[in-house]
Structure formats: C-alpha cells, structure tokens
Amino acid sequence: MTSPIMPFTYSKHNQIRACLTTEGIRIKSQFQSRNDNDDPDDNDATGCLTCLSNNNKKSSSLAEDQFIIPNGTMIPFGRIISAKYLNKDKTIKSNGVKPIQKNQIHEHTSLLNHKKQNNISSSNDDSLYDDEDEDLDIEDEESSGCEELYIELTFVHPQGKDVVPTSLHLLMDPLPTEANLTSTTDLVSYIIDKSYENVRKDKSILIIINPFGGAGKAMNLFNEKIKPILDSSPFIHYELARTEYYQHAIDIARDMDITKFDTVACCSGDGIPNEVINGFYQRDDRTTVFNQVCVTQLPCGSGNAMSVSCHWTMNPSYSTLCLLKSVESRIDLMCCQQPSYVDKCPRLSFLSQTMGVIAESDINTEFIRWMGPIRFDIGVAFNIFQFKKYPCDLYVKYAAKTKKQLNIHYVQNKSKAQLLFTPATSQLSISNMNNNIPNSQEQFPISDNDLKIKYSIKDPIPSDWEKIDSEVTDNLSIFYTGKMPYMAKDVKFFPAALPADGTIDMVLTDNRTPIHKITPILLSLDKGTHVLEPEVIHSKVLAYRLIPKIENTVISVDGENFPLEPLQVEVIPGLLKTLLRNGSYVDTEFDSMG
C-alpha cells in the first residue's frame, strides 16, 4: 500500500524545498509553501514534470503564475536549461526567507519513521523519493546548521503535446558529498555541467525559416513552440533568416559568416537542409565550413525526415530541446552527378534518391500537398496497384550484397558507433567535463581530400561494379536509396540505415510481384519489416549509376525534382556535422527484426 503523492500550490511568491540527486533535482516535502485550500487527494490536479504525457488540469482558482506540483517530483538534468542564484551571498538568509523550524523537522522525521515502520513509500516511484536520503537531509539541517541555497531553475516540462519552459524558485539543500565532488564545488555550476554533460551548451545559431513550409504554418510554429525554449536559455544566441524564393537557402548558406554562427537550424521540411548543405558545398572554404558548422532541423514542414531520424521526434518543441541537448556527430552525405550540372557543381544529398513509384508518389502529388503526409500514401497505392514499371540499367559497387551480409554489416557498425559516441561520464570530473566533450569535429575533422569525388559519371563503369540483373531492372517498380531510417513520420523505409557506416541503403521491388504479396509489404512500411520480405531486394552500396530507359517519369533527390537522366551517386563519409539525440539515429530495432 502506498500513500498518495501530496500536491502543493507553487507561485513565485513562495519557494520550494528541493535537493540534488544523481538523476536531477527532486522536490521535497513542503512545510511552509502548502496552501490550506489545496486538496491533498486531488491527484487529477497534479501535473507531472517528468513524463512525456501530461494530464495537467490547472485549477481555475489558481492565479496565472501558480500551478500544482506533487511532492517527490523529479526534474531530470536532461530537461534543465539553466540555473542561477537568486541571493547574492548564496544563502536564504539574505532574502529574508524563514528557515525551517526544528518542530517541523521533528514532525517530518516522525512521519518518515511511521512510513518506514509501515512500509509506506512517499511516491509510486521509489527512485523519486528516497526516505533514507531524506532522513540524512534532515539530520544535516538539524545538527550541522548548513544553510540552504536559493536558486532559480529553468527547465521544460510537458504541456499537452509539447514541452514548455518554466522557472521555479528553489531552496536547495547543500551539495551532497560524493567521491567526485569537492567542498569547493559550486552548486549552480554543478547543475549546469550535469545538465549539459557531453553537450556543447553555448551555441550561436542561424535559424532559416521557410515561411511557406508546413502549409504556411512554419512561422507560427516557430513563435509558439520553438522561440519560447530558445529564449529561456542564456547560452543560446540566434538570428532569423527567412527564405524568399526557391533555393534561397543555398544563397544564404553560401554567403553566411561562419565566424558568427556555429549552427544552422532549418525551421522547415527537408528541402531547406538540402539547400544549406549544397550552399556549403559551393563555397571556396567548404572544408572549413563542414568542420565548423552544424546543420539540424526544427520540423516545420510537410516532410521532416531529418528530425524524426536524428531527434527522434516530429514535434517542434521536443526537437528544440534536442537542439539544446543533443550530441554533435558526423554523418555521411551522398554526392549526386548528372550530365546537365556536373561540370558546374555536383549536388549533395542527405536523405534519399528515387525513381519510379516513390518518386512519382512524391513529386506528382505536389498539387495535393495541403493534405499533408497522407498524399504520399495515396500516390504509392495508386501507382503500385497500376503495376507500373520503370525500366533502367543499374550498376552498383556493393558493400553488403545479400541480406545476411547486410545484417552482419549493420550489427558491426552499430556497435562501433555506440562505442564511439557513448559518453564516458563516470570518468569525467566537474572541473574538466566541458573540456572533454566527445565532439566529432575535434576527433574527426575532414580534409580537402575527403571531399574529392572518387568516381566520375563521364568515365566508363568501373570494373569492380556489378550490373543488377536486367530481369529485375527492366521490370522495376521501386528504386529507392537513402541514408536515414525514416523518410516520413510513419515510413521507416531504411531501418538498417546508420549515420556514418560509409554506405547507402538500396531497396528494389519488381512490378511482377503478385498483389497479395505487395499488400503486406506496403502495410509494414511503418515497422520497417518490409525489407525482410523475399520480394524486396535490400542491400548496401558504396556507389551506383542509374540509367533510365523510360521518358515519362521523374527522379527525386531529397524530395526535389531532378532531371530524368543518368544519375551517379557515391558516399562522402562523415561530411556533415549534425545533432543526434544520444549520438545515434532513432532506434529502428532492425537487429531484432525477423
């Protein structure tokens, strides 16, 4: 049997008692800030600050700056944005806040003893409220006379489908004695270091907004869901640039001052990130740019594959939190060559290239873009069930030809990535933590040689490339290659894609596949298990050349219409710096499929 979590009313006119834990900051039992009108059994009125879902029902009787918090609430370091002292001498006395009285301590001690004797927990989650730790806190307060520290904590918490920034005034217990801390460790510095462990917290960001993105809602999404979180951080400086014409972001990225910005955040769909990386590629100092500037996406468009793959979310507010908290990592890009533009400048792709059903389903449904992502599903079904075919010649340089070889490649390279980007936080002390960020730029800077193209579309097919069986390519239904696991919110098309394994995932299907076998393939795209079907050819390649043998179709690269002519693509390993939540793509569970 457990007792209910006791809620209390908070406003900035009272202070909350709290203590530091290994996971974050825990709200403690309150003796003076409890409002007599609060109903301790009104658990529906409590808003949990720790979970992703939220059933907060704010009481109409509360003032605008008041809300209900349950005792034992944990504010994890991953949600904390900043902290600062509110009292100059770092003690509660300078603010005239009345210290806790001994009779209150004794009362609380008796309550704890009663709970221990009756095996009662203070929370449904014992990790949020540790009675033994609480007893130690009280003993320190009573016997040692330690004065508490008065801080303002800024963090994000769930509200509806979003996370929103909030500030609390907290009376903090003294910094706990731990093996890696010293008596001179500063509490606020400790909180900030733990909140940005292995993450670069100071960022200067150029935010590029496509005002027409997301059916014209991009600017509203920025103002309502993104800007409040950015403005709540003292470590973030940002400026806005609005695109005014097609491929304007290429010009912005090509001309931007890289001494002023270290991050470009694209408030858009997937088109603007493509333009930014191509603007970088056209610069004379492109090697320096790719070494210094990080590119990420804040999802405000109809297609947000970069955000769902890298930030694990399609929500702009959660993605903004990832902008503040994610690990800088290098990912592969793909270099595209076609006869019509190769002499001027090849083009970079971060997401995908496709011809056939997928390309037509994307490009040819632009007129119903107002329908959102469902337009793509409609297009795929329409083309698949017409049994259309898109004949071509296809030459590839394999990295993993069979599905068995691909599985081995995936497991090996995923393990390498985990070893590379897993933060060794237990080996870092507070004093040197920010100097030991496992930053990919410092570990793996690229050179001019890394940007050189290995294969030219003007040259004959290299001798070590293989031609895919014409029985397949003359009856091609889907040709799709990509570098990120998700192509849309519920389309896990490349579940074996990895950020920096140096390969491109390739998926092919044959239009002669019977309808009863096509249907389960289409229905499993959200799970990514379509690649396990025997009718689906799934491999990893280092480069390929596609030569269309049809005149009435389209080629799409990163969702943009490209010329219908021979296309050659190769990987440029580790070229782009981006932000990955936990240093990896969203987990597709590919290694546990089948």
- Is 36 designated active site? no
As a whole number of Å, the CA-based R_g of the chain is 28
CA 55 to chain centre: 24
Gap between the Cα atoms of 89 and 86, Å rounded: 9
Gap between the Cα atoms of 253 and 269, Å rounded: 16
Among left, alpha and beta (phi > 0; psi -120 to 50; other), residue 208 is beta
Alpha helices in 256-370 (DSSP H): 271-281, 286-292, 305-310, 316-325, 357-363
Place of tokens 């895919």: 468
Among left, alpha and beta (phi > 0; psi -120 to 50; other), residue 350 is alpha
Identify the three-state secondary structure at position 10: strand
Identify each DSSP E strand in 86-222 by its residue range: 149-159, 162-172, 203-209
**Residue 231: exposed, middle, or buried by beta-carbon count in 10 A (0-12, 13-18, 19+)?**
exposed
The contacts of residue 534 (CB under 8 Å, 6+ apart) are none
The tokens for 211 are: 């005002």
User: 129 phi and psi, to 5 degrees?
Assistant: -150, 95
> Cα dihedral sign for 268, 480, 412, 440?
negative
The tokens for 214 are: 């997301």
Percentage helix, strand, coil for the chain under 3-state DSSP, each rounded to 5:
30, 25, 40
Query: How many residues comprise the chain?
Result: 594
Gap between the Cα atoms of 176 and 182, Å rounded: 10
Among 137, 162, 270, 501, the active-site one is: 270
**Distance between first and last Cα of the chain:** 42
Gap between the Cα atoms of 256 and 240, Å rounded: 12
Looking at the DSSP bridge assignments, the partners of residue 238 are 205
> Cα dihedral sign for 383, 360, 576, 259?
negative
How many C-beta atoms lie closer than 10 Å to residue 40's C-beta? 13
Gap between the Cα atoms of 510 and 334, Å rounded: 25
Residues carrying an active site annotation = 270
